[in-house]
């Protein structure tokens, strides 16, 4: 995954403050081994940075986190949620295809407002 200007501690704290029930970590013996950040903008959900530590991959943790996040979005009556994946990250595309997500043929635009 690519970390960017929104992954500093202050930015992450802001994400957590706004989305306290949809930013999740999974612990193993007191150590955080996986996490995902879900956000809700009032209309749609957006998922950022699902990640499982390499030595814990293929143990079901990625699926478990996405299932828990989905349960929470449902509890908030969210209609739909999305996520972005860089095209070169083929293994993650394969993962989401495998666990039942729909690939959309969309183009993403963005504008950076500050560094």
Ligand X SMILES: CC(C)(COP(=O)(O)OP(=O)(O)OC[C@H]1O[C@@H](n2cnc3c(N)ncnc32)[C@H](O)[C@@H]1OP(=O)(O)O)[C@@H](O)C(=O)NCCC(=O)NCCS
| Residues contributing to the site for ligand X (CB under 6 A) | 1, 49-52, 57-63, 85, 89, 91-92, 94-95, 98-99
> Residue of minimal CB distance from ligand X?
62
Q: Cα(18)–Cα(10) distance, rounded to whole angstroms? A: 13
Task: Write out the DSSP string of 63-91.
Answer: HHHHHHHHHHHHHTT---EEE---TT-HH
The Cβ of residue 69 has, within 10 Å, a number of other Cβ atoms equal to 21
Q: Which is nearer to ligand X, 39 or 77 (CB)?
A: 39
SS3 52: strand
> Cβ of residue 66: shortest distance to ligand X, in angstroms?
8
> Cβ of residue 39: shortest distance to ligand X, in angstroms?
14
Q: Which is nearer to ligand X, 77 or 88 (CB)?
A: 88
> Cβ of residue 101: shortest distance to ligand X, in angstroms?
11
> Cβ of residue 43: shortest distance to ligand X, in angstroms?
21
Sign of CA dihedral 105, 83, 34, 26: negative
């Amino acid at each position: 995954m690519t970390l960017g200007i929104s992954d500093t501690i202050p930015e992450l704290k802001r994400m957590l403050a706004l989305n306290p029930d949809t930013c999740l970590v999974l612990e193993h013996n007191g150590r955080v081994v996986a996490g995902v950040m879900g956000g809700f903008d009032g209309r749609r959900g957006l998922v950022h940075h699902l990640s499982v530590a390499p030595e814990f991959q293929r143990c079901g943790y990625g699926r478990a986190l996405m299932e828990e996040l989905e349960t929470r979005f449902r509890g908030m009556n969210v209609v739909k949620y999305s996520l972005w994946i860089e095209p070169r990250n083929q293994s993650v595309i394969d993962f989401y295809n495998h666990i039942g997500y729909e690939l959309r043929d969309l183009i993403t635009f963005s504008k950076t407002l500050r560094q």
